[in-house]
Amino acid sequence: MDFSLERAQRVRFWAEDARVRSIIENVADGVVGIDAEGYVELFNPAAERLFGYAAGEVMGHNVKLLMPPQYSEHHDAYLERYLSTGEARIIGSGREVVGRRKNGSTFPMYLSVGDVTVPELRGFIGIVHDLTEQKAAEQKLAQARELLQSIIDSIPSALVAVDGQGRVTHWNRTAAREGAIDPEAAIGRPFAELFPLLQTHMDPLRQAVADCRPLKCERLPVPTGTDTRYVDVMVYPLVHDSGGSVVRIDDVTERVRIEEMMVQTEKMMSVGGLAAGMAHEINNPLGIVAQGCQNLQRRLSKDIPENRAVADELGLDLDVLGEYLARRGIIRFFAGMREATARASRIVSDMLAYSRRSASSFVPIHLNELIDTVLRLAGHDYDLRKSYDFRRIHISREMTGASDEVYCDEMAIEQVLLNLMRNAAQAMASSASLQSPEIQLRVADEGSRVRVEVADNGPGMSEDVSRRLFEPFFTTKPAGVGTGLGLSVAYFIVTEQHRGTIEVETAPGRGTRFIVRLPREGRPYGSGNSGGR
Amino acid sequence: MGPAILVVDDEPAICDNLAAFLEDEGMRVHTVQSGEDALSRIAAGLPIQVCIVDLRLPGMSGTDAILQIHRIAPMVRFIIHTGSAPDSVLSKLQETALGSTPVFKKPVGDMSELAQMAAALGTES
CATH of the domain at A365: 3.30.565.10
Flag whether pLDDT at A223 surpasses 60.
yes
**What whole-number percentage of chain A has pLDDT above 90?**
32
Closest by CA position to B82, among listed B62, B65, B58: B62
Domain assignment of residue A503, yes or no:
yes
The reported pLDDT for the residue numbered A441 is 94
Q: What is the pLDDT of residues A429-465, one digit of tens each?
A: 877 777 788 999 999 999 899 999 999 998 888 887 8
Most confident of A30-34, A73-77, A353-357, A373-377: A30-34
Closest by CA position to A203, among listed A187, A194, A215: A215
Instruction: Point out the least confidently predicted range of A95-99, A121-125, A179-183, B49-53.
Output: A179-183
Which residues in chain B (7-46) have CB-CB distances under 8 A to chain A?
11, 13-14, 17-18, 20-21, 24
**Cβ distance of A279 and B106 shorter than 8 Å:** no
Are residues A532 and A505 part of one domain?
A: yes
Are residues A176 and A79 part of one domain?
A: no
Residue of A nearest to B107 (CA): A287
Residue A158 and residue B84: Cα distance in Å, rounded?
A: 56
Amino acid identity of residue A39, one-letter, is: Y
Would you place residue A360 in the very low, low, confident or very high pLDDT band (cuts 50, 70, 90)?
Answer: low
State the sign of the Cα–Cα–Cα–Cα dihedral A260, A261, A263, A267: positive
Q: What is the pLDDT of residues A395-429, one digit of tens each?
A: 899 998 888 999 888 878 888 898 898 888 888 88
Nearest CB to A304 within list B18, B24, B56:
B24
Q: What is the pLDDT of residues A185-203, one digit of tens each?
A: 888 888 888 888 788 888 8
Are residues A486 and A388 part of one domain?
A: yes
Any A CB within 8 A of B84 CB: yes
Nearest CB to A294 within list B11, B13, B111:
B111
Mean pLDDT score, B39-62 = 92
Substitution target in B84, B88, B92 with the highest count of A β-carbons within 10 Å is B84
Mean pLDDT score, A119-129 = 87
Report which of residues A475 and A83 the model is more confident about. A83
From chain A, pick out residues whose CB is under 8 angstroms from the CB of B108.
287, 290-291
Residue A230 and residue A206: Cα distance in Å, rounded?
A: 19
Task: Report the CATH number at residue A110.
Answer: 3.30.450.20
Q: Are A199 and A192 in contact (CB under 8 A)?
A: yes
Domain assignment of residue A141, yes or no:
no
Are residues A345 and A197 part of one domain?
A: no
Mean pLDDT score, A16-24 = 83
**What whole-number percentage of chain A has pLDDT above 70?**
86
Q: Are A125 and A114 in contact (CB under 8 A)?
A: yes
Which residues of A fall below an 8 Å CB-CB distance to B? 276, 279-284, 286-292, 294-295, 298-299, 304, 306, 338, 341-342, 345, 349, 352, 358, 360
Residue of B nearest to A307 (CA): B24
From chain B, pick out residues whose CB is under 8 angstroms from the CB of A281.
83
Residue of A nearest to B11 (CA): A284
Neighbours of A265 (CB within 10 A): 16
Provide the shortest C-alpha distance from residue A485 to chain B (in Å): 19
Residue A512 and residue A476: Cα distance in Å, rounded?
A: 14
From chain B, pick out residues whose CB is under 8 angstroms from the CB of A338.
109
Report which of residues B125 and A138 the model is more confident about. A138
Specify the DSSP class assigned to residue A65: G
**Cβ distance of B83 and A284 shorter than 8 Å:** yes
Flag whether pLDDT at A81 surpasses 60.
yes
Among A131, A163, A194, identify where a domain stops: A131
**Helix axes of B62-72 and B87-94: crossing angle, nearest 10 degrees:** 20
Are residues A114 and A189 part of one domain?
A: no
Q: What is the pLDDT of residues A154-173, one digit of tens each?
A: 998 999 999 888 889 888 88
State the sign of the Cα–Cα–Cα–Cα dihedral A233, A237, A241, A244: positive
Domain assignment of residue A494, yes or no:
yes
Would you place residue B74 in the very low, low, confident or very high pLDDT band (cuts 50, 70, 90)?
Answer: very high
Neighbours of A15 (CB within 10 A): 14
Are residues A183 and A117 part of one domain?
A: no
**Cβ distance of A283 and B17 shorter than 8 Å:** no
Residue A237 and residue A244: Cα distance in Å, rounded?
A: 6
**Cβ distance of B83 and A276 shorter than 8 Å:** no
Residue A418 and residue A451: Cα distance in Å, rounded?
A: 16
**Cβ distance of B106 and A283 shorter than 8 Å:** yes
Flag whether pLDDT at A507 surpasses 80.
yes
Mean pLDDT score, A470-478 = 72
Residue A47 and residue A37: Cα distance in Å, rounded?
A: 20
Are residues A476 and A349 part of one domain?
A: no
Q: Are B39 and B86 in contact (CB under 8 A)?
A: no
Are residues A300 and A402 part of one domain?
A: no
Q: What is the mean pLDDT of chain A?
A: 83
From chain A, pick out residues whose CB is under 8 angstroms from the CB of B107.
283, 286-291, 341-342, 345
The reported pLDDT for the residue numbered A227 is 74
Most confident of A218-232, A237-251, A392-406, B8-22: B8-22
The reported pLDDT for the residue numbered A527 is 43
**The A40-43 sheet, strands edge to edge:** A40-43, A30-35, A122-130, A106-117, A94-100
**Cβ distance of B18 and A291 shorter than 8 Å:** yes
Domain assignment of residue A148, yes or no:
no
The reported pLDDT for the residue numbered A530 is 37
Domain assignment of residue A144, yes or no:
no
Are residues A174 and A281 part of one domain?
A: no
Residue B103 and residue A49: Cα distance in Å, rounded?
A: 109
ipTM score of complex = 0.82
Specify the DSSP class assigned to residue A39: B
**Cβ distance of A295 and B20 shorter than 8 Å:** yes
Number of separate domains in chain A = 4
Mean pLDDT score, A38-65 = 92
Are residues A524 and A383 part of one domain?
A: yes
Residue of A nearest to B84 (CA): A280
Residue of B nearest to A360 (CA): B87
The reported pLDDT for the residue numbered A1 is 45
Report which of residues A122 and A295 the model is more confident about. A295
Flag whether pLDDT at A381 surpasses 70.
no
Q: What is the pLDDT of residues A273-295, one digit of tens each?
A: 566 667 777 888 899 999 999 99
From chain A, pick out residues whose CB is under 8 angstroms from the CB of B83.
279-284, 286-287
Q: Is A43 helix (H, G, I), strand (E, B) or coil?
A: strand
Flag whether pLDDT at A180 surpasses 80.
no
Residue A245 CB contacts under 8 Å (≥ 6 apart), including other chains: A161, A162, A164, A208, A209, A212, A235, A236, A237, A238
Q: What is the pLDDT of residues A199-213, one digit of tens each?
A: 888 888 888 888 889
Any A CB within 8 A of B103 CB: no
Flag whether pLDDT at A2 surpasses 80.
no
What does the DSSP assignment read for A64-113?
GGGS-HHHHHHHHHHHHHHHHH---SSBTSEEEEEEE-TTS-EEEEEEEE
**Cβ distance of B83 and A281 shorter than 8 Å:** yes
Residue B115 and residue A261: Cα distance in Å, rounded?
A: 47
Domains of chain B: 4-124 (3.40.50.2300)
Are residues A298 and A182 part of one domain?
A: no
Residue of B nearest to A288 (CA): B14
Residue A13 and residue A3: Cα distance in Å, rounded?
A: 15
B58 cis-preceded (ω within 30 degrees of 0): no
What domain range includes position A104?
5-131
Domain assignment of residue A140, yes or no:
no
Provide the shortest C-alpha distance from residue B55 to chain A (in Å): 10
Would you place residue A63 in the very low, low, confident or very high pLDDT band (cuts 50, 70, 90)?
Answer: very high
Most confident of A101-110, A119-128, A206-215, A405-414: A101-110
The reported pLDDT for the residue numbered A531 is 34
Flag whether pLDDT at A335 surpasses 70.
yes
Provide the shortest C-alpha distance from residue A367 to chain B (in Å): 25
Are residues A56 and A44 part of one domain?
A: yes
The reported pLDDT for the residue numbered A318 is 92
Flag whether pLDDT at A51 surpasses 70.
yes
Neighbours of A409 (CB within 10 A): 25
Q: Are A47 and A31 in contact (CB under 8 A)?
A: yes
Among A301, A330, A355, identify where a domain stops: A355
Domain assignment of residue A142, yes or no:
no
Q: What is the pLDDT of residues B78-122, one digit of tens each?
A: 999 988 755 556 667 777 778 788 889 888 888 999 999 999 998
Among A355, A377, A397, identify where a domain stops: A355
Domain assignment of residue A147, yes or no:
no
Specify the DSSP class assigned to residue B108: P
State the sign of the Cα–Cα–Cα–Cα dihedral A164, A168, A170, A171: positive
Most confident of A111-115, A275-279, A335-339: A111-115
